[in-house]
Amino acid sequence: MTFPLADLVTILPELIVVVAACLVLALEPITPPRRKDGLAWMSVAALTACFIVTASGMGDRVGAFGNLVVVDAYASFWKLLLYVVSGLTILLSIGYLKEERIDLAEFYGFLLLSLAGMMVMVSGADLLVIYLGTELMSIPLYILAGFKRFEARSIESSAKYFILGAFSSGLLLYGVSLIFGAAGSTRLADIAAAVAGRGLNDPLVLMAMMLLIVGFGFKVAAVPFHMWTPDVYQGAPTSVTAFMAVASKAASFGALLRVMLEGFGGVRSNWTGLILGLCLLTLMLGNLVAIVQTNVKRMLAYSSIAHAGYALIGLVVAGWVGTNAGTVSQGTSSMMLYLAVYALMTVGAFAVIAILRRGGVEGDDLDDLTGLARQHKGVALLMLLFMVSLAGIPPTAGFIGKLYLFMGAVNAGLTWLAVVGLLFAAVSAFYYLRVVMVMYMREPSPEQARATRLALSPTAVIVLAFAAAGVVIVGVYPGPLVAFTSSAALP
């Protein structure tokens, strides 16, 4: 197969990331230990280059390789978000990996490879390409989850993630093969044409659609496909957890939204009910089970499930055949906004957990936060900010995200869904505020009072400052981000 060289320019960011990943992996063995940070900085530089390329090339839809891959504003939005999250993860990891004594530079290589997979996912206009992207995203993540290779829990996390991830990939691939049988092609445009012709009377299309939803349901951790999440998130190194909870979820949502709207847009009245069911289950289970967690990472795992439920509201709105015009773009843009906001506050929260890893203290148990407000006022204040934002209380970014989601829902005539979502937000405040309570209102025991040092590396400070500034700025002045997401939304 031949293709014009110009197509390579279209996927320039992907190429940069892959080359950087290979360079990191190749240079790792010959880099002296004290120079290893340089590889991390090289990765950050590659991400910066990608950011510039993507940001400057934002605009009309460009297809490449016979329209297997498209670059449009929508894909670019997700890519920019993914660069930022990856960059923050790398910066957070520089100090954290040393603290965990697993500072191998392969870490950054795998992370970049995973990022490349995510970029392919959000740019894919063909189900096989998207599938390829999910695999490229997942396999390095399996390794990263088990990166604390001396700890049984991390290995368990990796194994669980691998088995369930492979299983969900199988379902996804099965769905792709069925739709190929029905439509004779795996391109989203062809699928849309075939679906429009036959509708859901064809059992093949119906089965394929459901399998795809299940496959993506695993990737975004929607209930009832969420079972892997708590164990994997808890066992994985904290910076990897942040990356999984944010980047892989964002990329999967990006791909899911495109598949459902561009591939199955013609039968949207058939799948919105299904997504709505998933959304309600996810909201309910995520929020209710989070209440009983005593481990912060586990709590955040359930909270990330709950937030997937909120993001699904955006998909429901986008697919809902409502009474008011513009619900598609309103739904997609509110979901994009929500995930961007979610990325900021979740990375921030995990960064705080990561720097609590000190000496012998794991730092992820709720008790480890006891009295943090006395010893480290700044860190406690930031955690307060992230928790308040996760609970969706103004004037933080979390509120803005929820406001736009629910405005979309009401506009589509789904007022009851907004009410349900907000009631669960009130429930979520209970477990987020418990973190605040432990930090501010509980007296530390003598031994907790002794472990005062934090693993606060300069790069971790950058991560915390960036996340906090983002949460506050988007909360107080959301205009630019809102305008950006609505301009990049799928029509």
Question: Which residues in this chain contact other proteins in the complex, by CB under 8 A?
Answer: 324, 373, 377, 384, 388, 393-395, 399, 403, 406-407, 410-411, 415, 418-419, 422-423, 425-426, 429-430, 433-434, 436-437, 440-441, 477-479, 482-483, 486
The distance of closest approach from Cβ of residue 241 to other proteins in the complex, given in angstroms and rounded to an integer, is 26
Type of residue found at 288: L
Give 237's DSSP letter: -
Q: Which is nearer to other proteins, 41 or 440 (CB)?
A: 440
CA distance 455 to 453: 7
Residues 6+ apart with CB under 8 A from 443: 370, 371
Q: Which is nearer to other proteins, 274 or 482 (CB)?
A: 482
Q: What does the CA dihedral 202, 205, 210, 212 come to, rounded to 10 degrees? A: 170
The distance of closest approach from Cβ of residue 16 to other proteins in the complex, given in angstroms and rounded to an integer, is 34
The distance of closest approach from Cβ of residue 404 to other proteins in the complex, given in angstroms and rounded to an integer, is 8
- Of all residues in the chain, what percent are helix, strand and coil, respectively (each to 5)? 80, 5, 20
The distance of closest approach from Cβ of residue 353 to other proteins in the complex, given in angstroms and rounded to an integer, is 21
The distance of closest approach from Cβ of residue 291 to other proteins in the complex, given in angstroms and rounded to an integer, is 12
Instruction: Quote the strand ranges of 67-188, DSSP E.
Output: 69-71
The distance of closest approach from Cβ of residue 377 to other proteins in the complex, given in angstroms and rounded to an integer, is 8
Burial 59-88 (b: 16+ CB within 10 A, else e): eeebebbeebbbbbbbbbbbbbbbbbbbbb
The distance of closest approach from Cβ of residue 416 to other proteins in the complex, given in angstroms and rounded to an integer, is 9
The distance of closest approach from Cβ of residue 40 to other proteins in the complex, given in angstroms and rounded to an integer, is 32
Alpha carbon 91 to its chain's center:
17
Q: What are the contacts of 141-144 at 24+ separation with CB within 8 A?
A: 141/110, 141/114, 141/165, 141/240, 141/243, 141/244, 141/248, 143/110, 144/107, 144/110, 144/111, 144/114, 144/236, 144/237, 144/240, 144/243
Q: Which is nearer to other proteins, 377 or 453 (CB)?
A: 377
Tokens read off for 285 = 């289970």
Residues 6+ apart with CB under 8 A from 197: none
CA distance 261 to 66: 20
Q: Which is nearer to other proteins, 18 or 384 (CB)?
A: 384
Q: What does the CA dihedral 116, 122, 128, 132 come to, rounded to 10 degrees? A: 20
Listing DSSP states for 37-48 in one string gives HHHHHHHHHHHH
Q: Which is nearer to other proteins, 264 or 406 (CB)?
A: 406
Dihedral over Cα of 483, 487, 490, 491: its sign: positive
Q: Which is nearer to other proteins, 124 or 421 (CB)?
A: 421
Type of residue found at 168: S
Q: Which is nearer to other proteins, 159 or 410 (CB)?
A: 410
Q: Given its phi and psi angles, is residue 221 left (phi above 0), alpha (psi -120 to 50 degrees) or beta?
A: left
The distance of closest approach from Cβ of residue 391 to other proteins in the complex, given in angstroms and rounded to an integer, is 8
Q: Which is nearer to other proteins, 247 or 299 (CB)?
A: 299
Residues 6+ apart with CB under 8 A from 161: 141, 142, 145, 228, 232, 236
Q: Which is nearer to other proteins, 3 or 430 (CB)?
A: 430
Q: Which is nearer to other proteins, 22 or 426 (CB)?
A: 426
Q: Which is nearer to other proteins, 269 or 324 (CB)?
A: 324
Return the number of other C-beta atoms located less than 10 Å from residue 185's C-beta. Answer: 16
The distance of closest approach from Cβ of residue 245 to other proteins in the complex, given in angstroms and rounded to an integer, is 24
The distance of closest approach from Cβ of residue 133 to other proteins in the complex, given in angstroms and rounded to an integer, is 32
